[in-house]
Amino acid sequence: MSYVPETARKRPLLCPFNVITGIIILIGLYLAFKRFTGGLGAVSNLDDTNPWGFWIGFDLLTGVALAAGGYVTAAAVEIFGNKRYHAAIRPAILTGFLGYSLVVFALLFDVGRPWRLPYPFFVSQGVTSVMFEVGACVALYLTVLFLEFSPAALEWLGMKKLRRILVRLTMLLTVLGVVLSTLHQSSLGAMYLISPSKLHPLWYSPYLPVFFFISSIVAGLSMVLFEGWLSHRNFSDIMDESHRKGRDDLAFGFGKAASLVLAGYFAIKVFGIALGNNWALLFTGYGLWFLVEMIGFILLPCLLFAIGVRERKVKLIRITSIIAVLGIVLNRLNVSLIAFNWNLPADERYTPALGEIGITLFIVTVGLVVFRFIVTRMPIFYEHPEYDEAH
């Protein structure tokens, strides 16, 4: 049954966190009302030439990448056999599940007729579309994440039998999760393959799907480190020993992995320039911006992770995880907004409206509130005493 560690401190209803989130949620509800009474034009700067804006660039592309922690951690522990990071699975799966749920939630604002989102599967299948694949995989993966997360909820609810069945499915779900994540993480990049004439050649590459997939691993590893840090600051009172003690070990392990993957990512990005023979473009304004991403947000975190692991500096690894996460955000915004429609004059370009940013803030805030609700009630950061067989 419901169990919370005795060390848990009381969380008052009227704390700064709740007041601020309350205000953001009220603003969000107002913006949602505007969106569903006045259309997309009422809250956004989207137009016919720039049909995708901040919601697609951040909420969808960045959101999905940053929610990769679920499949990355599950794969590292269950498949690659790094059992010592076991305590990291549940928080990662939970953030993955919430992340994907929020992506779908955000899409409800962006697409014209949200209730038709199941249409591609049940009414009219456009199988030539990369987006069809993205949609199918995200829908399936959301289901997988739900099932992967459900043991924690079932422990909270005290439903032992159902929980046991789901725990037995762990391996199958993990493999399914990795397959589906490989597909849709890469396909988000593949969506942009259709428009080589609009995306700047330094970002456009036939390798785009590979870039997106590999960088999603970086995103997953870094987000687990970053979120772990935040969680330790806010929820250490409900964490059990294995969570508290495993923290540094996790930082070194994931930091090392992130450094390696970043090195590979940097290499294939260079191959991308070579394939398109776009070297000369490096010396243009966009080229400089590209180098900022390459050096400041791929090469730099790669080196800093390596140094942090070698010198056993947990703090450096933590800071680096933020740089790496920002690098992913930057990359997704580059592909979807900054380097997209790069050849159009400034007055035909897009900058997000306050309304769009407001809705995004609203969505992220809802996610934080739900996360907080769950971790203060369900066994995420601690083991439930009645289920001592390791979860």
Which parts of this chain interact with another protein (CB under 8 A)? 35-42, 44, 46-49, 51-52, 75, 78-81, 110-114, 116-117, 119-120, 123-126, 128-133, 135, 171, 175, 178-179, 182-183, 186-187, 190-198, 206, 209
**CB nearer another protein, residue 57 or residue 246:** 57
Token duo for residue 214 = 């590999």
- The CB-of-82 to another protein minimum distance in angstroms stands at 8
What is the distance between the alpha carbons of residues 154 and 164, in angstroms, rounded to a whole number? 9
**CB nearer another protein, residue 185 or residue 321:** 185
What is the sign, positive or negative, of the torsion defined by CA atoms of 11, 59, 338, 53?
negative
The angle formed by the CA atoms of residues 238, 244 and 247, to the nearest 5 degrees, is: 135
**Each residue of 330-364: b (16+ CB within 10 Å) or e?**
bbbbbbbbbbbbbeeeeeeebebbebbebbbebbb
**CB nearer another protein, residue 16 or residue 37:** 37
**CB nearer another protein, residue 13 or residue 123:** 123
- The CB-of-232 to another protein minimum distance in angstroms stands at 28
- The CB-of-177 to another protein minimum distance in angstroms stands at 10
**CB nearer another protein, residue 41 or residue 385:** 41
What is the sign, positive or negative, of the torsion defined by CA atoms of 188, 191, 192, 196?
positive
Using DSSP's 3-state secondary structure scheme, residue 340 falls into: strand
- The CB-of-330 to another protein minimum distance in angstroms stands at 20
- The CB-of-259 to another protein minimum distance in angstroms stands at 20
**CB nearer another protein, residue 32 or residue 322:** 32
- Which residues on neighbouring strands pair with residue 199, listed in sequence order? 340
- The CB-of-135 to another protein minimum distance in angstroms stands at 6
Tell me how far CA of residue 267 lies from CA of 71, 295, 349, in angstroms.
23, 12, 31
